Copies of this chain bind each other. A is one copy, B any other.
Amino acid sequence: MNNWISGLDNANDEIVISSRVRLARNLKKVHFTNKLDENAGRENVDRIESAFYLNENTRDKFTTVRLWEIGGNVSTSYFEKHLISPNLLKSYKKTAFLVDKDETMSIMINEEDHIRLQCITKGFDIKEAYNEATKLDDMLENYLDYAFDERFGYLTACPTNIGTGMRASVMIHLPALTMNKEIDGLIKGLAQVGMTIRGLYGEGSNADSNIYQISNQVTLGVTEEEILNNLQAVVSQITAQEIKSREHLRANYEYEILDKIYRSIGILKNAIILSSKECLELLSYVRLGVEMSIIDDIDKKLLNSLLVLIQPASLQLKVDRKLTEKERDIERGKLVRETFRKINN
């Protein structure tokens, strides 16, 4: 797998930024997470951690982070890297996660389910993410007793996850479909085929970045194979639509698009105050410029890293103190300015 932020750019990360598979698992004979108090929760962390580290390979590759032992900015910055969920943060007194050194695999403990195992890789490669997740899952199953029902499959805290316990998703950049408003129809259409589309940071987060997460909604009564194939097919189709819209833009609004892209670079290089919303919009135009081969001296690795680094916790971590919204806008401006000025274009 290839870290979606720092891994080398490659051909399959055009439009699709990353692919992710997560599996929800629970232990037999242990109450669901919401019934575990702080002590029982921490016991469960120890239980899963020690099972996991029974395997020598994983012991060298992974580290454990106990959320109650670290500061809020540190843990939230893992969320901003898409390695852990808001739910894990919320219950930080009894939650933990294991993460590999490459930051492509993570195992959340005491999220909604006891185990939420996820693999995330750069670009459009859901099967790779699935294969790695399965390997990890199989390994864990050697040491732990999963709650599994012959008829229903994996049992989960929320019925929407019962069955495969799998959610597969991609992070996808759709500026052209957003500009021409086709995105609204797309969202409706996806719901009808059992898929869901959300913003950069999941439910409730907005799409200022023109980056969306598309994932399967249904887990019961379908096989892993079907989920992966469906998502693959839908994402391929959306990608083709986006490319078509970009070609239309290029053919009919060439100067306007160039204007948007270059102005964005100009502002990112110079702004003193930069809100998250504006910054994400500008970064999206620059990304579009790179993806349309209009800009050739900026790599997407840099744009991916900025998606994370401009987030509140990452900014606060950088300066090592709590910031007001205005201070964040100023720090964000500084970070982005310095980053873009290093590029000679």
The chain A residues found within 8 Å of chain B, CB to CB, are 255-256, 258-259, 262-263, 265-273, 326, 330, 333
Contact = CB atoms under 8 A, between A and B. Distances in A.
Which residue of A263, A268, A326, A330 has the most chain B CB atoms within 10 A of its CB atom? A263
Contacts of A269: 266
Contacts of A271: 259, 262-263, 266
Contacts of A333: 259
A307 B183 CA distance: 42
A330 B259 CA distance: 9
A233 to B, nearest CB: 38
Nearest to A265: B270
Contact of A255 (B256, B263, B330): B330
Interface residues of chain A: helix, strand, loop or mixed (majority): helix
A271 B267 CA distance: 10
Given A262-B270, A266-B267, 8 more contacts: A255-B326, A256-B273, A258-B272, A259-B271, A259-B272, A262-B271, A265-B270, A266-B269
A276 to B, nearest CB: 15
A210 to B, nearest CB: 20
A271 to B, nearest CB: 5
B267 A255 contact: no
A188 to B, nearest CB: 34
Contacts of A265: 266, 270
Contacts of A266: 263, 265-271
Contacts of A256: 273
27 contacts: A255-B272, A255-B273, A255-B326, A255-B330, A256-B273, A258-B272, A259-B271, A259-B272, A259-B273, A259-B333, A262-B270, A262-B271, A262-B272, A263-B266, A263-B267, A263-B270, A263-B271, A263-B272, A265-B266, A265-B270, A266-B266, A266-B267, A266-B268, A266-B269, A266-B270, A266-B271, A267-B267
A326 B255 CA distance: 10
A340 to B, nearest CB: 10
Contacts of A330: 255
A71 B40 CA distance: 89
A-B pairs with the 3 shortest C-beta distances?
A: A266-B270, A266-B266, A259-B272
Contacts of A270: 262-263, 265-266
A185 B327 CA distance: 35
Contacts of A258: 272
Nearest to A262: B270
